[in-house]
């Protein structure tokens, strides 16, 4: 299965963000496709369980052929909202719930299948055999093509993989959240031929004013002219340079920023520049 190198994250398309209307969603879908961004990342909980439905209504009227896009969704988080009768936030990875949740996402997204279904976050009560029964049911019925996880550690992946092959792990990874480089996560994914996707790929660089982010801005500022690139493009290029072939999930809904982001694919950071950027984040030289 091939996913676009940059993935469009939909978390802020609905009421958790820009509250795009149907026309705006269609325009954004088409703009992404024009740039080669064909994969759209969802989760059932986005918009307190409303964003998949909003996207689905737009997709149904977009005249975009289903085979031109890849749809990802996640399940498992039982979120407290007016749309669910939950008394506490928790996780449900029972066979019945995984199947129901995937079927519900398909209904809301107005599609017959998901290209990828992810378990959204690990649960201390998850059981590998029950997860496998649900995944096998969905695959045999053609409702999902691939299965993966999100935010899972190596040991949690190993538990699930005793019963079910994992194709993808979507993790938080950025210049300001790069523990996956050091704790063996990305090494393990490469060794197991599991594709990493990274959510929040710009990290906190533009969200926080700290000594770390100031160091990062200074270093990126020294490289923008050399690479004829913006700082956010360099942040994406830093992720794209990693040999695990990480696919960043970009969350912007601004058309101009999507156009800027795709240009990161044309940037190949030189070896020492990649390490200069890492050092700026860490605040010390590598060991």
* 223-270: pLDDT as tens digits: 999 999 999 999 999 999 999 999 999 999 999 999 999 999 999 999
Examine the pLDDT at 1 and tell me if it is beyond 70.
no
pLDDT score for 3: 98
Give me the mean pLDDT over the 11-40 stretch.
Answer: 98
pLDDT score for 214: 98
Select from 3.30.1540.20, 3.40.50.11740, 3.20.20.100, 3.30.70.20 the CATH code of 7-172.
3.20.20.100
pLDDT score for 40: 98
Cβ neighbors of 222 (< 8 A, separation 6 or more) are: none
Give me the mean pLDDT over the 9-37 stretch.
Answer: 98
> Contact, 76 vs 149, CB < 8 A?
no
Contacts 24+ apart (CB under 8 A), 218-224: 218/280, 219/276, 219/277, 219/279, 219/280, 220/277, 220/280, 223/273, 223/276, 223/277
Active site residues: 46
Examine the pLDDT at 192 and tell me if it is beyond 80.
yes
Examine the pLDDT at 51 and tell me if it is beyond 80.
yes
Q: Which residues pair with 250 in a beta bridge?
A: 8
Where are the chain's structural domains? 7-172
Number of Cβ atoms within 10 Å of the Cβ of 34: 11
């Amino acid at each position: 299965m091939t996913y676009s190198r940059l993935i469009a994250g939909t978390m802020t398309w609905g009421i958790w963000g820009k509250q795009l209307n149907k026309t705006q969603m269609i325009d954004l879908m088409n703009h992404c496709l024009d740039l080669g961004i064909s994969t759209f990342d969802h989760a059932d909980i986005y918009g307190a369980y409303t964003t998949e439905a909003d996207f689905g209504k737009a997709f149904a009227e977009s005249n975009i052929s289903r085979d031109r896009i890849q749809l990802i969704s996640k399940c498992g988080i039982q979120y407290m909202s007016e749309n669910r009768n939950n008394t506490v936030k928790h996780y449900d990875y029972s066979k019945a719930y995984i199947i129901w949740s995937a079927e519900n996402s398909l209904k809301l997204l107005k599609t017959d299948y998901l290209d990828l279904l992810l378990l959204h976050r690990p649960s201390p009560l998850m059981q590998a055999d029950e997860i496998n029964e649900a995944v096998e049911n969905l695959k045999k019925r053609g409702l999902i093509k691939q299965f993966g996880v999100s935010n899972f550690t190596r040991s949690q992946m190993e538990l699930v993989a005793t019963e079910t092959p994992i194709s993808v792990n979507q993790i938080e990874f950025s210049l300001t959240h790069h523990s996956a480089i050091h704790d063996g996560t990305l090494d393990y994914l490469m060794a197991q031929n599991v594709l990493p996707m990274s959510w929040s790929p710009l990290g906190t660089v533009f969200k926080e004013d700290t000594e770390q982010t100031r160091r990062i801005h200074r270093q990126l500022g020294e490289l923008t002219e050399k690479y004829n690139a913006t700082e956010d493009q360099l942040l994406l290029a830093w992720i794209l340079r990693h040999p695990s072939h990480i696919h960043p999930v970009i969350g912007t809904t601004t058309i101009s920023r999507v156009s800027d982001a795709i240009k990161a694919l044309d940037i190949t950071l030189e070896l020492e520049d990649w390490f200069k950027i890492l050092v700026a984040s860490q605040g010390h030289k590598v060991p």
